[in-house]
A = this chain, B = another copy of it.
Amino acid sequence: MNTEALDDASIAAATALQPIVQIAADAGLAADALEPYGRYQAKIDVDRVSREAPPGAVVLVTAMSPTPAGEGKSTVTVGLGDALAAAGHRTMIALREPSLGPVFGMKGGATGGGHAQVVPMISINLHFTGDFHAITSAHNLLAAMVDNHLHHGNALDVDPESISLRRVLDVNDRALRRIRLESGDGRSTGFDITAASEVMAILCLAVDRADLAARLARMTIGFARDGRAITAGDLGADGAMAVLLQEAFKPNLVQTLAGTPALVHGGPFGNIAHGCNSLVATTTARRLADVVVTEAGFGADLGAEKFLDIKARAGDCAPAAVVVVATVRALKMHGGIAVDAVGADDPGAVRTGLTNLARHLENVRRYGYQPVVALNRFGTDTEEELAVVEDYCASQGVRCAVTTVHAEGAAGGAALARHVTELLDAAPSYTPVYPEGADVEEQLDALVRRVYGGAGVEFSAEARRQLERLREHGWEKLPVCVAKTQYSFSDDPTLLGAPSGFTVRVRELVPKTGAGFIVALTGTVMTMPGLPARPAAEHMGVHDDGTVTGLF
């Protein structure tokens, strides 16, 4: 087979898609629950989806600490879903929507790869059904209403210097990171990318429309001079924001190359937010399928942690099984090999790098799960390198399967699917790493010591002040959402493997009262990416017949 030579776009273009109405009908969706967006995409009216069957089991796909190129987590998620479907399970996949901005920088798409993709991949990676745009609009309407309130007399006595709400755009535009409003009150503010918007986090955590509206109203934009929190509700913006999100709140149905139904909905950042697809998509998928395969952002210390401690608590969707994606390449990087040299055969480095995988597996166990390792095979991997990982897992009593879904689609995920199937009947067994009601300081201490393997937490003077303010407002028991590098368990991206003894330094504690969590900023977390010197955009175009070229 020489399919790896074909790029993702070519593989996708060579596959005949089924009409989305057919995918929906096969998934048991009533015709009147479907709103088609083109021939191959549709939004689902969740009120018309039956709630009668017991909800399907959730399979969470997470990963070891990744290389900058990523370990193929979305690809494994799609391939596993296809393999489970091929094995006869009523399966649905739930994924994040890609962010438009990075597509024009250097990143490829976020719809899987090779023979494990969700399609139509070009549309999904571009405007899709407009959800990101709706979030951009809702967020920026609120921002405009904040400055409009100041302009028209500031009846709420908002302290302009306290305004934490920035604006958002779904474009990688470094020049907008910090701007001064010369035609406004002259204060400095800036733009984040839309995936970092609190509105995105809200859309992804709301259980229903009433919850969505209530969360929007609770968003804190800043403080009055007397210390009162000023919310979107105080400004009367929440209703209009909900209007702008009316369609965006409906999950999007697409299909994989193998015809497995997939809900692709919501795309919050994995650091400043919780990094998983919308709760409403996960819940809807569970109503329609016996098994729902879904993905968490980055490595398990960030992604799985937030899925379990934030999303699963908010929406009662604890997984039945947890899959940890590992690659020989990432293991070599954690074993001391430079990232641009991980293609060279080095079983010793793989062995050394196992410390990273081991800690992630230990964490998954601490949360109450028997982890399954998906060893995602790349073309440069040798049999000996793969055997190092398989032998290690066997020695630890951990299920492990080499996956080749990129090259082979569902067949390449059959072994992984068999492992996962053995766990599906188990009841969710989530054991919290910090108890409900823990203070944010206690939460951070538990995460750093028990999940990251560090020595403790240190707060900047600013974070200390913010901690006091959180307590004054009674927000200190909201779950913490740690914004941290994905490359290390620590807050230092150069500490690979399984570092210990480090202290995590919290720069800021930002209350996201609509999302219902407190962002703890550590290290240098970027909320507005920039474009590289030669952006991918330079190679794109559209033929006169409408065919897009150069996108992936």
Contact = CB atoms under 8 A, between A and B. Distances in A.
A541 interface: yes
A538 B237 CA distance: 6
Contacts of A43: 38
Contact of A175 (B47, B104, B151, B548): B151
Contacts of A539: 236, 239
A145 B537 contact: yes
A55 interface: no
Interface in A351-379: none
Nearest to A209: B544
A210 B171 CA distance: 25
A213 B137 contact: no
A199 interface: no
A395 interface: no
A153 B148 CA distance: 38
Interface stretch (A125-133, A400-408, A416-424, A461-469): A125-133
A108 interface: no
B176 A181 contact: yes
Contacts of A173: 140, 143-144, 147-148
Given A143-B173, A208-B544, A209-B545, 16 more contacts: A37-B38, A126-B244, A126-B246, A127-B244, A148-B175, A148-B535, A175-B183, A175-B184, A175-B185, A176-B183, A178-B183, A179-B180, A209-B543, A209-B544, A239-B539, A246-B542
27 contacts: A35-B39, A36-B37, A36-B39, A127-B130, A127-B133, A137-B171, A140-B169, A141-B537, A143-B173, A144-B173, A144-B175, A145-B535, A152-B532, A169-B169, A175-B184, A179-B179, A179-B180, A180-B180, A180-B182, A209-B545, A209-B546, A213-B541, A236-B537, A239-B539, A240-B541, A242-B540, A243-B551
Closest 10 CB pairs of A and B: A175-B184, A239-B541, A240-B537, A236-B538, A147-B175, A133-B133, A144-B173, A177-B183, A178-B183, A180-B180
Interface of A: 35-39, 43, 45, 47, 100, 104, 123, 126-127, 130, 133-134, 136-137, 140-141, 143-145, 147-148, 151-153, 167, 169-185, 188, 190, 208-210, 213, 236-240, 242-247, 530-533, 535, 537-546, 548-551
